[in-house]
Amino acid sequence: MDITPLHRKRTARTGVTLIEFVVAFGIFTMLITIASGSFIRSMRVQRTSLQLMSVNDNMGITLEQMMREMRTGYHFCTATDGMTYAGIPAEVITQCQNLASGLNLSEIQFFNASNEIVRYRWINEMLEKGISRAEFFDPVAGASLCGDGTLDIVNGICYHIITGDNIKITNAYFRPSYNDDGDGYSPRITLSFSLTTNDPVAESIATPITIQTTVSARCGESTCPGDS
């Protein structure tokens, strides 16, 4: 009779126990979870970086456009600036008083190099540029001329969005200094913006970008139209 010894070694075909299977599966699951989490985080970081780079580039273009126009501007006013109105046209005084009634530093008005009244304003987490013309006081002619912009009939201004669709501006601030005619100083305008991306995934993990700069207008003493 063939008797198999009790100390016989297990062959390679012998299966694993249930405990060994559970332990191995648990370790495998844990490693897969860690690897997947790291991959997802890296993809989110890359997505956020690309979104913020795009936001920064687009805002840089918008800011350069604003600064270029402000360098050759004059008669700057915002809601609470201390400019005097001596020698300034009556329509500018009215417009500035309308701004002051709103007590809003997120909007600025000035004359550009073409002697047009220009406004920049922060509204609905976007920046808009407005141009004032006589036609914009008329609802019919103004609506036709303004097109897809936002028409302000009260002030005769047509606004158009100048920031990209991917930009979300959470705060904006305009402040002119040395703005009185004949004070011997060129006007200086401080611009400050806090912005982020409209992408909900990137916005949830990104820190808002803060941009602040100062524009020195080239309109100095005896060179502004109001000084002549």
* pLDDT of 128 above 90: yes
Dig out the tokens for 165 from the structure: 């669709």
Q: Could you please report the per-residue DSSP string of 35-103?
A: HHHHHHHHHHHHHHHHHHHHHHHHHHHHHHHHHHHHHT-EEEE-SS-----TT--HHHHHHHHHHHHHT
Q: Contact at 8 Å (CB) between 150 and 162?
A: no
User: Is the confidence at residue 214, as pLDDT, over 80?
Assistant: yes
Measured from the Cβ of residue 227, the count of other Cβ atoms closer than 10 Å reads 13
Q: What is the pLDDT of residue 86?
A: 62
Residue 228 binned pLDDT confidence (cut-offs 50, 70, 90): very low
Q: Tell if the pTM clears 0.75, that is, is over it.
A: no
pLDDT at 181: 58
Closest by Cα among 181, 214, 183 to 111: 181
**23-56 pLDDT, tens digit each:** 888 888 888 888 777 777 777 777 777 777 888 8
Instruction: Check if the beta carbon of residue 151 is closer than 8 Å to that of residue 128.
Output: no
The mean pLDDT value of the chain amounts to 79
* Domain spans of the chain, in order of start: 41-227
Residue 87 — pLDDT band, cuts 50, 70, 90? low
- Tell me: the pLDDT tens digits for 172-211? 988 887 766 556 677 888 999 998 888 777 777 777 888 9
pLDDT at 3: 55
